[in-house]
Amino acid sequence: MYELELRRLGHTLVAGLDEVGRGALAGPVVAAAVILPLDRFDLAATLEGVRDSKQLSPLARQHWAAEVRKIALSVGIGRSSARELDRVGVLAATRLAMGRALAELSWDPSFLLIDHLRLIDLDIPQYAITRGDQSVLSIAAASVIAKVARDRLMERLGDRFPAYGFDRHKGYGTAHHRAALDRVGTCREHRRSFAPVKLALGPPPSAKIRSRRQPQILNCLSPTSSPLEPLPSSAPRPALPSSATQS
């Protein structure tokens, strides 16, 4: 266990961090930070069912999120909105959400264990652990907390925007969600920088302007022709003005 080795080195306040929602088409990225009591001899047994949130059913996630909150020294949750993500990019938005989760902790951690990435702007010792939510208890606990928090938020958004079914798919790009985008378009919770949402938005205004102007130019060539038809090859050449001279 990473936590036990860090405790042996003198780190008693170790925060695990994870995020959920990076790949969704709508809604925020949500991150959680969790500091567990590493001095409890029964810590692993007490949280034996805590693992990567994707491996748990919704009911199991809610149960273990409650158990984590009972035992944790501190829990913090942060998020980055869809609009912010569109502005700064998904990786920067994830780091912002994690930084906000850390700011919500009631204790300052001396070491961070993070799933997959580093918080480059923080002067706190840290490990970025690939698939950390599958191998590190503190990160798995953060994964469960973040998932339950985001699911509840997306269920509330489902009430506000019932056409999309956010309560069912939590903003991810399911067939139901994509069909809703095709049918009713987007809402303000959609990430406009993501390709399926861009497609639902249609072409940019400049492209629409060009498509409107093109028929007007063709109409000038032949008032009697269809805007999209070429002039017939047998069309007579216009007569030269009387003042014109041949060279």
Residue-wise pLDDT tens digits, 31-81: 999 999 999 999 999 999 998 788 899 999 999 999 999 999 999 999 999
Taking all residues of the chain, what is their mean pLDDT, rounded to a whole number? 86
- Is-contact 225 231, C-beta < 8 A? yes
What mean pLDDT do residues 198-227 have? 51
Per the model's pLDDT, the better-predicted residue between 131 and 145 turns out to be: 145
> What's the pLDDT at 204?
57
> What's the pLDDT at 226?
41
> What's the pLDDT at 20?
97
Quick check: 171 pLDDT over 50?
A: yes
- Top CATH class of 2-199 equals alpha beta
Strands of the chain, DSSP E: 14-20, 29-35, 74-80, 111-115, 126-129
- Enumerate the domain spans of the chain: 2-199
- Residues 55, 208: Cα–Cα separation, whole Å: 46
Residue 230 — very low, low, confident or very high, per pLDDT cuts 50/70/90?
A: very low
Q: How far is CA 32 from the centre of its chain?
A: 15
